[in-house]
Amino acid sequence: MDSARFRQMFLEMMHNQDNPFHPLVWINGEPEFGRNIYIGGFSEINAKGARVVIGDDCDIASFTAINVADSHLLAIGLAETPTCRDIILEHNVFVGSHSAILGGAHIGHHSVIGAGSIVRAVRIPPYSLAVGNPLVVKEGYYLKHPSPTPKAGS
């Protein structure tokens, strides 16, 4: 069996869509992807019921969940349907491993979400560092801490 057939059978068995990232990136719905995106294995993108937009040059580490749906009120009998809200990652966003980006999140360009962070329905300004659970947002962090410029000849 050739690798293309194996990949197709694997995706069918896992109830997953083919995607340009990794066969172990689960995609549900129709997220909108920009150019030059990396998504690590064992990550999930659920865009069923609302929009997920991931801008150009984003890096999403392994074991990350991006999920528009919230079913906790349904599960405890306080709602009849899950709540679904859009998620937007602007250009040049980095999301650390084991993070969750939940419905209603809007992450500004050139921002970093630290590993293990939970981003709920919040708007994070551009150039921010956001870490933890509960989330702490350091607005403009990367404007104050520019990346070092490589020296000539190094």
Residue 40 lies in a domain: yes
Residue 153 lies in a domain: no
> What does the mean pLDDT of the chain come to?
92
Q: Which of 13-27, 74-88, 108-122, 132-146 has the lowest mean pLDDT?
A: 13-27
Residue 100 lies in a domain: yes
- The angle subtended at Cα 68 by Cα 63 and Cα 64, nearest 5°, is 10
Q: What is the pTM of this model?
A: 0.86
Closest by CA to 140, choosing from 123, 125, 130, is: 125
Position 154 pLDDT exceeds 70: no
Write the CATH number for 112: 2.160.10.10
So what's the pLDDT on residue 12?
83
* Pairing state between β 65-67 and 44-47: parallel
Q: How far is 124 from 113, CA to CA, in rounded Å?
A: 10
Count of CB atoms situated within 10 Å of the CB of 144: 10
Residue 134 lies in a domain: yes
DSSP 74: H
Residue 29 lies in a domain: yes
Q: Which of 42-46, 72-76, 97-101 has the lowest mean pLDDT?
A: 72-76
Residue 120 lies in a domain: yes
So what's the pLDDT on residue 48?
95
Position 2 pLDDT exceeds 80: yes
* Pairing state between β 83-84 and 69-70: antiparallel
Residue 42 lies in a domain: yes
Position 146 pLDDT exceeds 80: no
Number of domains in the chain: 1
Position 148 pLDDT exceeds 80: no
Q: How far is 14 from 41, CA to CA, in rounded Å?
A: 14
Residue 7 lies in a domain: no
Residue range of the domain that includes 127: 22-144
So what's the pLDDT on residue 43?
96
Compute the average pLDDT of residues 60-70: 97
In the chain, how long is the greatest CA-to-CA distance? 64
So what's the pLDDT on residue 36?
97
